[in-house]
Every structure is written in structure tokens, then in C-alpha cells.
Structure 1
Amino acid sequence: MNDALPTPPASAHAATAAMARKPSAARLRKIDMILGSAERHFALLGFEGAPLEQIAQDAGFSRHNLLYYYPSKEALYQAVLASVIDDWLGHMTGLSKDGDPAQQIRQYIREKFEFARTRPYGSQLFTKEMIAGAPFAASAVRERIAPLLAANVAAFAHWAGQGLIAPVNFQHLMFSIWAITQGYVDQQTQFALLQNKAALDAGDFAQAEALLVQMLAATLQIALPD
């Protein structure tokens, strides 16, 4: 008996090849416009409050055209959330146990503030998602963020074991870093008003970064390089 599979028709080959091709630059630009508009609206109004019609209009599309790219509001929200988490993790550099603690801590904090400063709507959207109980992001938190957190905590524990830093609860140390860096987005309106400013500027973030580095250096009893 011949058990060979039948040869797919040419149309099937064409469809497979089309799916394998990278999206065009024009399509990617349209997707970026939609995701940018959606990120802003979801950050400001939440999942329930952000209307698809307004998201589409601000991106320069009709609601019908938007749904061609994302078939539902939930699909669009999940795409935005995935993009935010990808970027957040990209700035959450892994700490190497073989590196210098002071330099790595400084770089880690710099990356966290950089994400908060350059992608405020994404940062606010992630906060809203967590406040809502992580209905869409719970699996990503468990499967993607938790392993990286565990690896970073292990790096701190290794440094402590080598006598390079003082032992503290490193998991809560990481939570504190996240809370402070995130706070400069979530509370930036209040922080700006209290300084009689329209908005926080790069200097505010630089000063916050320097202070947080100093605080951690004092807590961990490490000397900072000049």
C-alpha cells in the first residue's frame, strides 16, 4: 500500500508561501498606527472604556478597517499588551552573577526608568491591567516575568554569598525598584504639579535614577563607581 501523502494543490502551496512571507512595510506601518492609538486609549480609559471607533479614528482608519487587522477589541488589547510586555522585558535586563554588582544595578535602574520615560502609555496600561487583577496578562506574568525575576534574585543571592553585597530580601528589593520606577509614570502628574511644572522632564528622571541608585547602594552596602 502506498502511504505517501497526496501532493497539495498549487493553490495550497501559494497560500502557505503567502503566510510565510513577512508583512509589507506598509502593513507594518498601519499596524503600528493602530497599536499606538489603542495603547493610548487603553491606558487612559481601560479596556472597557476605550471605544474601538475612537481608536480607529485616531489611527486614521474606519472601525471596519481596524477589525480587518484585529477581529475584536479583545484581540487588539491583547496585541497591545503583548507589545508592552515585550518592551518591558527588553528593558528588564538580566543581571549576571559574574558582573560587577554596582554597575549592573545602575544599568538595570537606568533601563527601568528609560522604559517608563519613553513609553508612558504602555507603562500606564500595564498598571491598569494589574489593578484590574491581570485578566489578560496573568499567564505572561507567571510564564515570562516570573522566571526572569527568579534569575535576577538568584544573581543578587550569589553576590551576597560572595560577600559583595549585604543580604536582604531580594525579591522585595526588586518589587521596590519596580514600584519606584513605575511610580514616576503613574504619579507623574502629581509629581509635576508639586514642582509647578507642566510635566516631568529628562532631568527629573535623571535625578530620580541617581537617588534610587544611591538608596540601593546604601541598602546593599556597596561603593558606587565615580
Structure 2
Amino acid sequence: MRGGDGSGGSGVVGSGIGAPARRQRRDGALRREAVLDAGLEIFSTVGLHGASLDQIALRAGLSKTNLLYYFRTKEDLYVAVLRRVLDVWLDPLHALDAESEPAEALKRYIRSKITLSRDAPRASRLFCLEIVQGAPLLRAELEGPLRDLVEAKAAVLRGWIAEGRIAPHDPRHLVFAIWAVTQHYADFAVQVEAITGRDLSDEAFFEQTVESTQRLILASLGLS
């Protein structure tokens, strides 16, 4: 009986300890995400050098001391924000594989990229700003994971070319062209609106942009 009572008591105590620990981890993760969100907002508005940790902490609803628990320096936070942006951007590219039907796979990828330009324009503009400045804090990511993924997908595109499924093009330039067109609607949103009087929040304009870009890219590959 004592053993049974002891086990039962131990289980209750363990459960009681585990729940607060799980809540603490969850709350910590939420605070970290809040800091990253605030960092994106501030950095995309005033840049790395114009931003301060005080501004970001205020935007995140935390004290500066709490912010420094998650990120030791402003540069650490900036790189973390950029890495998160890169992860989100590259996720749709993973879906391109050799077994996919080229036209449908490329249409999905283009739609995903323009959706990101609509839903996360600040992220796109911040990344663009970093690249224009020479990517001093992100070069390792560009020369490592980014290059590796692009080369892997270039191999998929070369396979499609070899099989006669798409017209011959340098695969890397094809990827660059898709990035350039789709991200234009975020990076140069003011110019797009000035010329057309519309932006991607307009559902009809969004669909027109997606379909036009799909036709443009697919036509160059002999697809429809």
C-alpha cells in the first residue's frame, strides 16, 4: 500500500512541477517571438543603426533587461530576425522536387512568393536593405544554407530540362528572375501603387499579379 501511495503521490507532484515548467517555456517562446516581431518592425523602418534596443523592448512590451535575456546585443537580434525571414522565404522553395509536374510546381511557388510579398512586405524590405548594404551580418547564411538550397533546386530544374519538360535556361537565373519579379511587389510597393493605384491587399489585383507572373515565367519555359 505504501508503495502504491508513494507512486501516486510522486505522479501528482511530478505533474504539478511539469505544468509550470511547460508554461514557463511556452511563455518564454512567446516573449522571444514578440521580440523578433518588434525587431522586424523597427529594423525595417529605421534600419540596424537607427534602431535601439529600448525602442524594440518598448514595442515588444518588455523591459530592456528582459529583452537582453533572449538577445545579448542589437546585432544578435538583427541577425535572428533576418534568419527567420530567410527561413520563411525559403520554405516554399523546398516543395520543388523532381517528381513534381513543372508547370503546377512553378505556379505554386510563384503564388507562394507573391503571397509573402503581400503578407510580409516589411520582411522583404528589410532583407533587401541588408543585401544592398553587402549583407555584412548575413553572408554566412547566404553562402551556406541559401546557396545549398538553390543548388539543390537548380539540379531539379536541370533534370526537367534534360527530360525536355521545360525549355533550356540557366536554373539559377530562373530562380533569380522569379525572386526579382515576386519580391518587387513588396520592395517597391510604393512605386507599384503610384503607377497602378492598387496594391496586393486588393484581391483582384493580387490575383491579376499572380496570374500575370505565372504566365510570364511559364511562357519563357515553353509551358502554359
1:42-191 alignment runs, 5 A limit: 42-191=43-192
- Which structure has greater helix proportion? 2
Quick check: 2:39–2:77 contact (8 Å CA) kept in 1?
yes
1:98 CA displacement: 2.1
Counterparts of 2:124 and 2:143, CA distance in 1: 18
CA RMSD across the alignment: 1.9
Provide Cα deviations, 1:105-142, integer angstroms capped at 9, x if missing partner.
Answer: 10111121122222221111111111110111111111
Alignment-mate amino acid for residue 30 of structure 1: R
In the alignment, the residues of structure 2 paired with residue 205 and residue 123 of structure 1 have an alpha-carbon distance, to the nearest angstrom, of 17
Q: By how many angstroms is 1:26 displaced? A: 1.4
Q: Partners in 2 of 1:212 and 1:200 — Cα distance?
A: 13
Letter in 2 for 1:79: A
State the SS of the aligned residue for 1:134. Answer: coil
Whole-Å separation in 2 of the counterparts to 1:70 and 1:96: 36
Q: Secondary structure at the match of 1:93?
A: helix
Percent identity of the aligned residues?
A: 34
Whether the 8 Å contact between 2:118 and 2:200 is mirrored in structure 1 is no
What is the Cα deviation at residue 159 of structure 1? 1.2
TM-score by length of structure 1 reads 0.83
Distance in structure 1 (CA, Å) of the matches to 2:134 and 2:165: 37
Query: Counterpart of 2:200?
Result: 200
Q: Deviations over 1:72-109 (max 9, x none)?
A: 11111121112111111212234212221111110111
- Give the structure 2 partner of residue 219 of structure 1: 220
- Structure 1 unpaired stretches of 5+: 1-20
Tell me by how many angstroms 1:161 deviates.
1.1
Offset, 1:203: 3.1
Q: Distance in 2 between matches of 1:179 and 1:92?
A: 15
Distance 1:206 1:24 in 2: 40
Letter in 1 for 2:66: N
TM-score (norm 2): 0.84
SS of residue in 1 equivalent to 2:126: helix
Q: Secondary structure at the match of 1:133?
A: coil
Q: Which runs of 5+ in 2 are unaligned?
A: 1-20
